[in-house]
Amino acid sequence: MSARALTTHRLASLVPVATIVIVLPLLFPSAYYFRVAALVFIFALAAVGLNLLMGFAGQVSLGHAGFLGIGGYAVAIGPVHFGLPSWLCIVIGAALSGAIAFLVGRPILKLKGHYLAVATLGFGLLIAIVLTNEAGWTGGPDGTSVPRLVLFEWRVRGSDTWYWIAAGTFVAGAALALNLIDSPTGRALRAIHDSEVAASLLAVDVARKKLAVFVLSAIYASVAGSYLALFNGHITPDISGFLRSIELVAMVVLGGMGSIAGSLVGAALLVVLPQALTALHDYEHMALGLVLMGFMIFLRQGIVPSITAALAGRAT
Amino acid sequence: MAETLQFFFSGLTVGAVYALVALGFTLIYNASDVINFAQGEFVMLGGMTTVFLALAGVPVPLAALAAVAVTVAVGLALHRFAIEPARGASAVALIMITIGASIFLRGAAQVVFDKRFHSLPHPFGTEPIPVGGAAILPQSLVVLAGAVVIVVLLWQFIDRTLLGKAVIATAANRLAARLVGIDTRRIVGLSFAVSAAIGAIAGILVTPITLTSYDVGSLLALKGFAAAMLGGIGSAVGAVLGGLLLGMLEAFSAGYISSKYKDAVAFLVILAVLLAMPQGLLGRGKVERV
């Protein structure tokens, strides 16, 4: 397949996603469904960014919720303390996340495997600790309220509006990611994933490419964090807690590493499942743990790649 | 001076617990390359099971023994039903499985036990022993003694017994170990059992000082993991050293800088060590073959 055909093929996978985005609302009986779906798309956006890092460059991050927190608190602190408009704070948060990722990523990404895991984990925890302790800015462990997003003098509220914003941004983010994968940078990243030594022998600037994708994934997470805070109207340091980071990794791994559609499926599973499990109440965590283990044991390639492989196997 | 000594004692006590958790990580990692994030849950299970058996009227020493047995059973079940079926999965997938197990165990503890904090009686009283102007709780000495006994026993087991040598062989090269007739699956199972026992004992010993609840495991696992990394993963001596060092760092930064940022300082130093010495203090470098 030529490179051009491959690109159109890859982007073509967005068509069903876009169709789902448009058709779903017709089936929604109440605002609650819009709310859950908006959350799915917000988390899917962060998962797509993390997937670029994990699925393509092969670098794990157990602290990505730190960037969710930076984006989230940017829209909480900016409007209240500096009188900035919320939309500008989304941009500032993303820029700040990118800058921090750039500074931190340079030394951290030299580490490999479990050492990279513990370094990113420590980084995420540090952000959560700062957010918890700087109560003057962040409201401390109880969090703080977040002013509504105002666009062109129009206050954005209501789950249906947020549904369209989140879904639109997700589709744009997914398109960007798919384009990146098929660019020379994307090929370089996959080469790094397979073997860093071999990639560097092919004149791939390994450190720079890894850093670039780390910064990009931080920006995805930051925007998702901003949306999450604006949508909920409230934010607590839990947004950058260890469990959140794990949730993001779980979305990527459950859906399928290296599969953009998988990130959406993974996000949907981990957002919808707890909603469905609230009926079980006390058993919620047990069920969540079992699901996580079960999927990783029996579908270790992730949901979407496993299904794709099964379908391909039937076709031949 | 007395102040410094006081921080030293509290750092030593906490550090001993981190060291035991890190040792558990190291055992399982060496035998199977799995980073077991449910290690902290072993500590929680040890403490909580003892507390609830004691509440039910079982004498504390008996309850403690039963708690270790229960935790070992959980460790073996974890290996049999979650790790063993996932053989050959990627490192990230295995990490997610053990994190899933940790969430499951925490959820189960919340249902079986409750969500409150619990303590155990101090067997040697709560009268602090004065040492050079500072004071140390009798139970802190118990924790330290327990840690020393466990480390010595483990070392003797690994160094002196045939089974211990099989553990070393499995850690060094699994295929070669199988070729000389070692049942590596049983060795991995054994490492889970021993890890669980070590975690449970640590949990029981420290409960009178730090209290326990269904969710104490996650932070302990993170600190233990960090301690193991600090020492250099795969090195048992490194794990103990890393644990003690981490405990000291925490105690001194809490005392001299800010107790709010106690956890932060610990992780900052770990980041610094990792960046300066990417293999940890005692870890061996790995050469990537192309």
pLDDT digits (tens, 9 = 90+) for A20-54: 888 888 888 888 888 999 999 999 999 999 999 98
Asked if the C-beta of A299 comes within 8 angstroms of chain B's C-beta atoms, the answer is no
Angle at B253 between CA B8 and CA B144, to 5 degrees: 30
How many helices (H) and strands (E) are present in chain A, helices listed first? Answer: 15, 4
- Identify all chain A residues contacting B260, using CB atoms and an 8 Å cutoff: 133
> Given this model, what pLDDT does residue A30 score?
83
Tokens 């060092």 appear where?
B245
Q: Hey, are the CB atoms on B100 and A122 less than 8 Å from each other?
A: no
Residue partners of A20: CB distance under 8 A and separation at least 6: none
Residue B122 in any domain: the answer is: yes
B259 in a domain, yes or no? no
User: Which one-letter amino acid corresponds to residue A183?
Assistant: S
> Domain tally for chain A?
1
Q: Determine the average pLDDT of the residues in A160-177.
A: 91
| Among the partner residues B90, B100, B226, nearest to A289 by beta-carbon distance | B100
**ipTM of the complex as predicted:** 0.84
Q: Which residue of B has its CA nearest to A251?
A: B96
Quick check: helix, strand or coil at residue A267?
helix
Residues 38-57 of A with CB under 8 A from B: 54
Q: How confident is the model at residue A66 (pLDDT cuts 50, 70, 90)?
A: very high
Q: Would residue A248 count as lying in a domain?
A: no
Judged on CB neighbours under 10 Å (0-12, 13-18, 19+), A195 is middle
At A6, the amino acid letter reads L
Distance between B117 CA and the closest CA of chain A, angstroms: 18
CB contact A135 to B (< 8 Å) = no
Assigned domain for B2 exists: no
Q: Which domain holds residue B91?
A: 19-226
Domain range for A62: 3-240
Q: Is the Cα dihedral B149, B150, B151, B152 positive or negative?
A: positive
- Does the residue A215 lie in any domain? yes
- The structural domain count of chain B equals 1
Dist CA B210 CA B194 (whole Å): 23
**Can you give the pLDDT at residue A1?**
44
B112 in reach of chain A (CB within 8 A): no
In a domain, A305, yes or no: no
Using the structure block, give the residue that is written with the tokens 């965590």: A285
Q: Which residue of B has its CA nearest to A113?
A: B91
Cross-chain residue pair A289–B111, CB shorter than 8 Å: no
Interface of B with A in 80-99 (CB under 8 A): 82, 85-86, 89-97, 99
**In the prediction, which pLDDT does A258 show?**
85
Which pLDDT belongs to residue A315? 62
**A134 CB within 8 Å of a chain B CB:** no
- Rounded distance between C-alpha atoms, residue A230 and residue A162, angstroms: 9
User: What is the pLDDT at residue B225?
Assistant: 85
- Is A95 or A17 the better-scoring residue by pLDDT? A95
Nearest-Cα distance to chain B for A9, in Å, is 28
3-state SS, residue A203: coil
**φ and ψ at A241, to 5 degrees?**
-70, 170
Q: What does the DSSP 8-state code read for residue A30?
A: S
> For the segment A221-254, what is each residue's pLDDT rounded down to a tens digit?
999 999 999 999 899 998 998 888 988 998 998 8
Q: Output the tens digit of pLDDT for each of chain B's 290 residues.
A: 788 899 999 999 999 999 999 999 999 988 888 889 899 999 999 999 999 999 999 999 999 999 999 999 999 999 999 999 988 777 778 888 998 999 999 999 999 998 899 998 888 888 888 888 888 889 999 999 999 999 999 989 988 899 989 988 888 888 899 999 899 889 999 999 999 999 999 999 999 998 898 888 888 888 888 888 888 878 888 899 999 999 998 999 888 887 777 778 778 877 887 778 766 676 665 554 44
At residue A52, φ and ψ (nearest 5 deg) are -55, -45
> How far apart, in whole angstroms, are the C-alpha atoms of residue A50 and residue A217?
5
B195 domain residue, yes or no = yes
Q: Do B108 and A115 touch (CB under 8 A)?
A: no
Q: According to the model, what pLDDT value does residue A266 have?
A: 92
Closest Cβ opposite residue A300 in set B93, B260, B279: B93
Name the token pair of A237: 């340091």
Residue A310 lies in a domain: no
The length of chain B is 290
Give the chain A residue nearest B278 (alpha carbons): A111
Min Cα–Cα distance to chain A from B125, Å:
35
Distance (Å) from the alpha carbon of A8 to chain B's nearest alpha carbon: 31
* Dihedral sign, Cα of residue A219, residue A224, residue A228, residue A230: positive
What is the predicted pLDDT for the residue at B86?
86
Question: For the segment A191-218, what is each residue's pLDDT rounded down to a tens digit?
Answer: 877 777 787 777 777 788 889 999 999 9
pLDDT digits (tens, 9 = 90+) for A258-304: 888 899 999 999 898 888 877 777 787 888 888 889 888 888 788 88
In a domain, residue A50? The reply is yes
Note whether residue A245 is domain-resident. Answer: no
Residue A299 covered by a domain: no
Closest to A119 (Cα-Cα) out of B60, B174, B272, B101: B272
A285 with B106: CB under 8 angstroms? yes
Asked whether residue A271 is assigned to any structural domain, the reply reads no
Taking CA atoms, what residue in A is nearest to B231? A115
Taking the CA of residue A129 and the nearest CA in chain B, the distance in Å comes to: 7
Q: d(Cα A144, Cα A160) in Å, to the nearest integer?
A: 24
B101: nearest CA partner in chain A:
A289
Question: The tokens 């994708």 sit on which residue?
Answer: A213
| Chain A residues close to B267, C-beta within 8 Å | 122-123, 125-126, 129
Give the phi and the psi of residue B118 in degrees, each rounded to 5. -135, 155
Q: How many CB pairs under 8 A join A and B?
A: 136
Any domain includes B246: no
Residues β-bridged to residue A155: A150
Asked whether residue B1 is domain-assigned, the answer is no
pLDDT at A217: 95
Interface check for A251 against chain B (CB to CB < 8 A): the answer is no
User: pLDDT digits over A92-114, tens only?
Assistant: 999 999 999 999 998 888 887 77
- Name which of A123, A243, A253 is nearest B271 (Cβ-Cβ): A123
Q: How many whole angstroms separate alpha carbon B70 and alpha carbon B86?
A: 23
Which residues in chain A are contacts of B86 at CB distance < 8 A?
296-297, 300
Beta carbons of A115 and B278 less than 8 Å apart: yes
> Which residues in chain B touch residue A133, judged by CB atoms under 8 angstroms apart?
260-261, 264
Is residue B238 domain-resident? no
Q: B90 in a domain, yes or no?
A: yes
State whether B96 and A296 contact (CB < 8 Å): yes
From chain A, pick out residues whose CB is under 8 angstroms from the CB of B271.
108, 119, 122-123, 126
Q: Please report which confidence band the pLDDT of residue A7 belongs to, taking 50, 70 and 90 as the band edges.
A: low
Smallest Cα–Cα separation from A264: which of A12, A18, A3? A18
Q: Of the candidates B85, B105, B233, which has its C-beta nearest A297's C-beta?
A: B85
Comparing CB atoms, the residue among A118, A133, A285 nearest residue B260 is: A133
Q: Is B260 on the interface with A (CB under 8 A)?
A: yes
Q: Give dist(CA B32, CA B25) in Å, integer.
A: 11
